[in-house]
Amino acid sequence: MDGNGRWATAHGLSRSAGHEAGLRTARDIVEAAVREGVGTLTLYAFSSDNWKRPSAEVTALMRLFRRALIGEAKRCLQNGVRLTILGRRDRLPSSLRHTVEQVESLTASGSRMHLRVAVDYSARDAMLRAAAAMRGENVTRDGFTELLARVDHDAMPAREVDLVVRTGGEQRLSDFLLWECAYAELLFVQKMWPEFDAEDLAEALADFRSRNRRFGLAPEQVAS
């Protein structure tokens, strides 16, 4: 969800207003994803590196996250969406941690779509914590995936990422789900996140379905 701040600056607004606009877009995209039949949607809301931003902006974001969770919990429940938070929790404000636990419990029965919001998330840090937990064991790929799930509170670790859509014109992964994105298709969009809409999501999914995914196989093997 990249480009909230730049979108706000371009429109003569505060960065906080940009994040508010980004929240409205997130709500619309979640509902569109449910209609499109998406099984799992992960939104990258706050990376571990984002703690380096000005303290006033970070504080405002933490308040926005908590308000968003409270406001969207009922909507998720009505739409059959299970909501979980991916990432570290020990550095989040205690009130936000408590809200996370409440919302996850409330929406646990959602079966139409699993919505994951990455907050204080770093793929590299998660892999380091998982590696430390191995304690010299001979761990398989599946086993390492399960370890990653445990260190980052991931409720559904078995699912690899199919498609990454990054808004804002940047063309990099920025420490996002690096292990799970080993064979993900990548789509970089020039639009800022507040400008991204349901039609853009539909186009991204159509583009994904048109791609030839080989997973290391030869083209003729895939065709057969």
Would you name the residues annotated as active-site residues? Answer: 2, 50
Task: For residue 105, give both structure tokens.
Answer: 């419990």
CB 127 within 8 A of CB 148: yes
- DSSP codes joined into one string, 136-164: T----HHHHHHHHHHHTT-S-TTPPP-EE
Structure-token pair, residue 218 = 């030869």
Query: What residue type is assigned to position 162 of the chain?
Result: D
In 3-state terms, what secondary structure has residue 98?
helix
Q: Which two tokens stand for residue 64?
A: 């926005």
Residues 197 and 199: their CA atoms lie apart, in Å, by: 5
